[in-house]
């Protein structure tokens, strides 16, 4: 009788342990050891959930059928097969793949992202792009083993103190850009739909309907907003026309926030002094795209969030949410699906 009772307890424990299933899509998302990341997720889940790694598309399609949580995202075609799905953890800040997908946004599935954690790294990258332009570094790199005279220095080299930065999107990334701009002696005007308190870094924050009003004040315009149906191509011909002649344009969130053709016209006409782009539309950017033809357009291949610091913070965030989800607790970094970020 005791043995039967013990077996029943074991069966009950196993049943409870299998109560929730979390599937990790692909890999450890930039972490050096995927298996180590999976172990951390399982440790956080404890006995409340089972964490499964699906490294191939075939494995993922099979595992999500009875999954309650997914780390790494799910496609529109796969969504109907995941009958038990309660939670999706995006490994990036942007969740536009879902914002343009009404069926998912109307569902009860919780969506969390990695906003804020990538902010410091992307803030650094935004200024790397800007300084490459303002200090003419594009004319010196890659190293050509040639010492140029000062008279050959790129025209228009300038300094940042006293400039005004207009930052479109004052979330985790925009706030980090604002802190760096302030440290460089720049004045900051933020643009954001939320009622964000002003700070020493951003003493002025206006709503999006005042964007065209503040653009003429910017010596630099940073684009750090999320991509939603409302923000797509929010920077187009009218906005480029409104910018100050000689301004710089820096985009580090999503390429579909600005109209590429209109940007090219603004650069070609010398209305803008230059552009720094970590994001384009499309990606990868084809080798024959006209953006490549300009010396004063600096392009990096959507790598602004790459750094060990970002990876460590992303891992901590996901581990924490795995633990909360497994225990039925409130998740952090929840996306407000009514607005798409």
Mark whether 43 and 125 lie in a shared domain: no
Q: Which residues contact 245 (CB under 8 A, 6 or more apart)?
A: 271
pLDDT digits (tens, 9 = 90+) for 36-81: 889 999 999 999 999 999 988 899 999 999 999 999 999 999 999 9
Whether 232 is a known active-site residue: answer no
Average pLDDT of the chain is: 91
Mark whether 288 and 154 lie in a shared domain: yes
pLDDT digits (tens, 9 = 90+) for 222-259: 999 999 999 999 999 999 999 999 999 999 999 999 99
- Give the pLDDT confidence score for residue 125 in this predicted structure: 98
5 pLDDT more than 80: no
276 pLDDT more than 50: yes
Task: Check: CB of residue 252 under 8 Å from CB of residue 223.
Answer: yes
Mark whether 268 and 128 lie in a shared domain: yes
Q: What is the pTM of this model?
A: 0.89
* 24 in a structural domain: yes
* Residue tagged active-site, from 39, 103, 230, 283: 283
Mark whether 69 and 45 lie in a shared domain: yes
* 336 in a structural domain: no
Q: For the chain, what percentages of helix, strand and coil (3-state, to nearest 5) are there?
A: 40, 15, 45
Mark whether 107 and 210 lie in a shared domain: no
% of the chain surpassing 90 pLDDT: 80
More confident residue, 176 or 4: 176
pLDDT digits (tens, 9 = 90+) for 179-196: 999 999 999 999 999 999
* 166 in a structural domain: yes
Question: What CATH number is associated with residue 12?
Answer: 3.40.50.720
Whether 283 is a known active-site residue: answer yes
Q: Which domain holds residue 174?
A: 119-299
* 338 in a structural domain: no
Confidence of residue 26 (pLDDT cuts 50, 70, 90): confident
* 337 in a structural domain: no
- Give the pLDDT confidence score for residue 27 in this predicted structure: 62
- Give the pLDDT confidence score for residue 15 in this predicted structure: 42
Mark whether 151 and 267 lie in a shared domain: yes
Q: What is the mean pLDDT of residues 149-165?
A: 88
Mark whether 112 and 181 lie in a shared domain: no
* 339 in a structural domain: no
* Residue tagged active-site, from 182, 302, 306, 324: 302
Mark whether 147 and 109 lie in a shared domain: no
Burial of 130 (0-12, 13-18, 19+ CB in 10 A): buried
Mark whether 97 and 131 lie in a shared domain: no
Whether 182 is a known active-site residue: answer no
pLDDT digits (tens, 9 = 90+) for 278-296: 999 999 999 999 999 999 9
The span from the CA of 139 to the CA of 184, in Å, is: 23
143 pLDDT more than 60: yes
The span from the CA of 217 to the CA of 225, in Å, is: 19
Report the domain count for the chain: 2
Picking from 221, 233, 30, the residue whose alpha carbon sits closest to that of residue 126 is 221
- Give the pLDDT confidence score for residue 30 in this predicted structure: 42
Mark whether 206 and 291 lie in a shared domain: yes
Q: Taking CA 99 as the corner, what is the angle to CA 37 and CA 194, rounded to the nearest 5 degrees?
A: 95
* Residue tagged active-site, from 25, 125, 180, 254: 254
2 pLDDT more than 80: no
Task: Check: CB of residue 309 under 8 Å from CB of residue 294.
Answer: no
The span from the CA of 89 to the CA of 321, in Å, is: 8
Mark whether 45 and 129 lie in a shared domain: no
């Amino acid at each position: 009788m005791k043995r039967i009772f013990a077996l029943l307890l074991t069966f009950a424990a196993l049943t409870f342990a299998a109560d929730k299933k979390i599937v990790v899509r692909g890999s450890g998302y930039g972490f050096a050891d995927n298996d180590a990341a999976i172990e951390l997720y399982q440790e956080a889940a404890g006995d409340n959930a089972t964490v499964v790694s699906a490294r191939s598309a075939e494995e993922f399609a099979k595992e999500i059928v009875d999954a309650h949580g997914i780390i790494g995202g799910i496609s529109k075609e796969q969504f109907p097969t995941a009958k038990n799905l309660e939670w999706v953890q995006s490994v990036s800040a942007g969740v536009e793949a879902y914002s343009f997908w009404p069926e998912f946004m109307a569902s009860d599935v919780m969506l969390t992202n990695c906003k804020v954690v990538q902010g410091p790294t992307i803030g650094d990258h935004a200024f790397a792009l800007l300084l490459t332009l303002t200090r003419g570094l594009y004319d010196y790199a890659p190293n050509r083993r040639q010492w140029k005279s000062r008279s050959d220095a790129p025209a228009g080299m300038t300094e940042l103190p006293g400039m005004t930065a207009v930052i479109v999107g004052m979330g985790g990334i925009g706030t980090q850009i604002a802190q760096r701009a302030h440290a460089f002696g720049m004045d900051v005007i933020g643009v954001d739909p939320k009622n964000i308190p002003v700070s020493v870094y951003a003493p002025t924050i206006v709503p999006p309907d005042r964007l065209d009003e503040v653009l003429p004040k910017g010596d630099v315009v940073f684009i750090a907003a999320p991509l939603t149906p409302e923000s797509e191509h929010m920077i187009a011909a009218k906005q480029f026309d409104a910018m100050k002649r000689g301004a710089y344009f820096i985009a580090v969130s999503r390429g579909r926030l600005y109209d590429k053709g209109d940007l090219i016209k603004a650069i070609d006409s010398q209305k803008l002094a230059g552009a720094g782009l970590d994001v384009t539309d499309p990606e990868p950017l084809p080798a024959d795209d006209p953006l490549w033809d300009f010396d004063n357009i600096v392009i990096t291949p959507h790598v602004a969030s790459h750094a060990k610091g970002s990876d460590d913070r992303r891992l901590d965030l996901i581990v924490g949410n795995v633990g909360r989800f497994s225990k039925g607790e409130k998740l952090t970094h929840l996306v407000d699906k009514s607005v798409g970020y």
